[in-house]
């Protein structure tokens, strides 16, 4: 009898902490940088009649001996048509030794944590150690989650938040200030938000630059989180003439990440781009001076999903959470 653990979104919410997600994502990147993980390029396709897209991100990680994948649907009319979330993910976690399924779980919660943990890990290796001022552009769910990750890694004192939806950014400022007991202000423009920031986070669905090159001061780290499809763009590509470009996975970022535009326009050479896993594994350098400008282009990898799902699985087994089903 093969037993498989199933975990709902609610059950995962009670198990997964940002600290666990940060560790999982950092170790997944490290394994990838050390050649101990397999991360095939994602499969994506659109379902035009329902304004939907499907993304499948598989992976295998040798250091935890697990494979698996996240199957995520993005159906942008779901809230309107069904009162359902736009993004619905399902994660399958598989024993790397023999292919047996270990767990099947909601992937929305894990996806949200692993994406924000990517920002936290990127900033850990790229931002100045004394970073305390952050700017968050895009104050939706991921803007909230990104701040949660940053506050785990840095002693953040001031956050300036900007969103096209000004009311939304005001709510964000109020909620986040209360949650973390720090000063969070809503800015009237992206320019005002990023002024003086040590760490800038962009977490929008933008398809043209929202942050201009001229605004960026020496020593800044930018976490570019939003771009994960061809055509998406949050940063002025001129930034890459003077910034160090760090990505999660070069072949993927060239296609769907923030760097796609700078590479296409010849402003950035692929040979000059570094993968975060290479830095974590000690093969390449992260920040090399107080004045360097760094950009972390995170598009999201299957290894992040598998590593974070594995952490959730271990916690669930330890605490007897979830339902067991028999597969055969």
Give the binding-site size for a second copy (rule: CB under 8 A): 49
152 alpha-carbon distance from chain centroid: 15
The answer to whether 140 contacts a second copy (rule: CB under 8 A) is no
The site map against a second copy for 36-75 (x = CB under 8 A) is: --x-xx-x-x-x-xx-x-x-x-x-x-x----xxx-xxxxx
Helix (H) or strand (E) holding 56: strand 52-61
Is the Cβ of residue 99 or residue 181 nearer to a second copy in the bound state? 99
Looking at beta carbons only, is 4 or 156 nearer to a second copy? 4
Asked if residue 50 lies in contact with residue 88, where contact means CB atoms within 8 angstroms, the answer is: no
Shortest approach of a second copy to residue 72 CB, angstroms?
Answer: 8
Cβ–Cβ under 8 Å, residues 45 and 54: yes
Only segment of 83-91, 244-252, 290-298, 313-321 that touches a second copy (CB under 8 A) = 83-91
Q: Interface with a second copy includes 323 (CB under 8 A)?
A: yes
Q: Residue 217, Cα to own-chain centre: how many angstroms?
A: 24
Q: How far is the CB of 297 from a second copy (least distance, A)?
A: 22
Going by the DSSP 8-state scheme, the letter that residue 198 receives in this structure is: S
Nearest distance from C-beta of residue 308 to a second copy, angstroms: 17
Could you tell me the smallest distance in angstroms from the CB atom of residue 310 to a second copy?
15
DSSP string, 107-169: SHHHHHHHHHHHHHHHHHHHS-TT--EEEEE--SHHHHHHHHHHHHHS---EEEEE-SSHHHH
Minimum distance, C-beta of residue 205 to a second copy, in the bound complex (Å): 17
d(CA 222, CA 210): 12
Spell 30-44 as b/e; 16+ CB within 10 A means b. bbbbbebbbbeebeb
Shortest distance, position 46 Cβ to a second copy, whole Å: 8
Q: Which 3-22 positions form the footprint of a second copy (CB under 8 A)?
A: 6, 8-10
Annotated active-site residue 70? The verdict is yes
Residue (38 or 185) nearer to a second copy, CB: 38
Cα–Cα–Cα angle for 226, 231, 233, rounded to 5 degrees: 40
Fill in the per-residue mask, 93 to 132: x = in contact with a second copy (CB under 8 A), - = not in contact. Answer: -x-xxxxxx--x-x-x------------------------
Q: Which of 36, 57, 70, 232 is catalytic?
A: 70
Residue (of 78, 102, 100) closest to 88 by Cα position:
78
Q: Contacting a second copy (CB under 8 A), which of 14, 17, 84, 272?
A: 84
Measured in degrees and rounded to the nearest 5, phi and psi for residue 138 equal: 100, 100
Closest CA to 138 of 23, 213, 223: 223
Nearest Cα residue to 243 out of 226, 225, 264, 268: 268
Q: From the CB of 12, what's the least distance to a second copy, in Å? A: 9
Residues that bind a second copy (CB under 8 A): 6, 8-10, 38, 40-41, 43, 45, 47, 49-50, 52, 54, 56, 58, 60, 62, 67-69, 71-75, 78, 81-82, 84, 87-88, 90, 92, 94, 96-101, 104, 106, 108, 323, 325-328
Catalytic positions are 70
């Amino acid at each position: 009898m093969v037993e498989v653990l199933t975990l709902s979104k609610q059950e995962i919410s009670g198990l997964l902490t940002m600290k666990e997600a940060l560790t999982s994502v950092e170790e997944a990147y490290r394994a990838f940088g050390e050649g101990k993980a397999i991360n095939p390029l994602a499969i994506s396709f659109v379902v035009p009649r329902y304004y939907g897209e499907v993304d499948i991100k598989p992976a295998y990680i040798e250091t935890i001996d697990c494979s698996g994948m996240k199957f995520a649907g993005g159906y942008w009319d779901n809230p309107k048509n069904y009162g359902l979330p736009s993004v619905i993910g399902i994660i399958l976690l598989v024993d790397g030794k023999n292919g047996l399924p270990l767990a099947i779980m909601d992937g929305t919660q894990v996806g949200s944590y692993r994406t924000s943990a990517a920002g936290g890990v990127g900033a850990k290796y790229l931002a100045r150690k004394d970073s305390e001022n952050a700017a968050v552009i895009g104050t939706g769910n991921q803007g909230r989650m990104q701040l949660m990750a940053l506050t785990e890694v840095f002693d953040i004192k001031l956050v300036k938040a900007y969103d096209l939806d000004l009311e939304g950014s005001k709510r964000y400022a109020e909620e986040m200030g209360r949650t973390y007991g720090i000063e969070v202000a809503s800015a009237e423009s992206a320019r005002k938000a990023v002024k003086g920031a040590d760490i800038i986070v962009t977490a929008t669905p933008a398809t043209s630059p929202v942050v201009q090159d001229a605004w960026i001061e020496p020593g800044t780290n930018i976490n570019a989180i939003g771009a994960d499809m061809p055509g998406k763009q949050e940063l002025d590509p001129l930034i890459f003439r003077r910034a160090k470009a760090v990505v999660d996975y070069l072949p993927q970022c060239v296609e769907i990440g923030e760097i796609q535009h700078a590479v296409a326009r010849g402003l950035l050479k692929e040979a000059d781009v570094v993968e975060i896993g290479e830095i974590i594994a000690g093969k390449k350098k992260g920040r090399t001076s107080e004045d360097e400008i760094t950009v972390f282009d995170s598009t999201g990898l299957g290894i992040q999903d598998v590593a974070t799902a594995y952490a959730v699985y271990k916690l669930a087994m330890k605490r007897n959470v979830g339902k067991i089903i028999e597969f055969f």
